[in-house]
Amino acid sequence: MVAVQRQFEQINVLASAANWAWPLAQRDLFQPRGISLLMANGTDEVANILRNWRVQAAIIDTDSEGAGLATIKVIRMDYPLVPFIALSSRTETDLLDRALQLDVFGVVDKPVDMEVLRELLNRLFVKRYNCDIFNR
């Protein structure tokens, strides 16, 4: 795999504010790998971060007020290449169909299992960037 230091100056993952364990994710998943976790409240903050930072992936909580698949749809207009992961407590067929139409990389059930999220992030980074930073 390509060395992370050569490929990226800094890896940034954008996340919408959510009602789950972001501090745990920061401590166990992102910080040990030197990844910056950029937090946003709502579509405007997501767009602002994307305007000002190079973001390699975005994690959007579809249950959060002011976020969800509508946020992804709006953001896709200006940033069509940002890979998204959606979190949801209701992974019904309708939600999965809409996520597929928006080219969401994956949907994770809530409560979030950190190992499932790590594996999905690993697949995303290997497929998109040929980078295995999330591999064990």
Tell me the CATH number at 49.
Answer: 3.40.50.2300
- Residue corresponding to tokens 């979190």: 87
In a domain, 69, yes or no: yes
Residue 121: exposed, middle, or buried by beta-carbon count in 10 A (0-12, 13-18, 19+)?
Answer: buried
In a domain, 135, yes or no: no
Show the domain range for 73. Answer: 10-129
How many degrees, rounded to 5, is the angle at CA 36 between CA 35 and CA 37? 115
pLDDT tens digit sequence for 105-125: 999 998 888 899 999 999 999
In a domain, 67, yes or no: yes
Q: Considering the entire predicted model, what is its pTM? A: 0.88
pLDDT tens digit sequence for 37-64: 998 888 899 999 999 999 999 999 888 7
In a domain, 101, yes or no: yes
The beta-strand segments (E) located in the chain are: 12-16, 36-40, 57-61, 84-88, 106-109
In a domain, 66, yes or no: yes
1 pLDDT above the threshold of 50: no
In a domain, 134, yes or no: no
In a domain, 76, yes or no: yes
In a domain, 3, yes or no: no
Residue 88 near residue 62 (C-beta atoms within 8 A): yes
Looking at the structure of the chain, the number of domains it has is 1
* Separation CA 116–CA 46 (nearest Å): 24
